Structure 1
Amino acid sequence: VEGRDANDAQVLQEVADAAGRPEALARIGEQDLKDRLRQATEEAVAAGVFGVPSLVIDGEVFWGVDAMAMALDYLADPAVFRSGEMARVSTLPEGIQRQR
């Protein structure tokens, strides 16, 4: 967001400090964290996640910043997504599918 270099260790440390996680950079190479990231990635792919940001709510994947308002609409009234035009478009074929 600020256009800073994410490859610069000092920048990463400043971001970690600002987030209240000053130990994050020191722990980045720890095997337990790598294992947790790998497991979380596998779970996300299994749930249909393919990019960030993504939310999975009741098995529905909301992907992209522009879909966050849609996710809020779903949380307010999930039935809207099963009726009318939303129900119709959910039956349309997908243009591209991720290979698993």
Structure 2
Amino acid sequence: MGLRNGVTSVVAFLRAGYPTHAPALGYAPVLALLPRRLCSDEAAVIASTLIGRQRLPIDNADVGVEITRITAQMPSCEDIDRVQRRLDAMGRAGG
């Protein structure tokens, strides 16, 4: 693998993990100031935990409490919606 292919691979790897809501160029230090988002794995764990409780309906307060327990941070409305969508996809009614 030549130098060009190696650099291309590294750049592709870095771009794959770059937040979609961040500026495309420059301002990399600003990324540290962006609010934390719930990752897909965390959303899956939270949805599974809530489903395992067998209590309906699962409302936004239940989701928010579980997000806070997992992340030790206040949940955003976007993160609560993401978990609720995952619950809906799993066939569980949200509140």
TM tier relative to shorter chain:
under 0.3
Comparing both structures, which one devotes a greater share of its residues to helix? 2
TM-score (norm 2): 0.27
TM-score (norm 1): 0.26
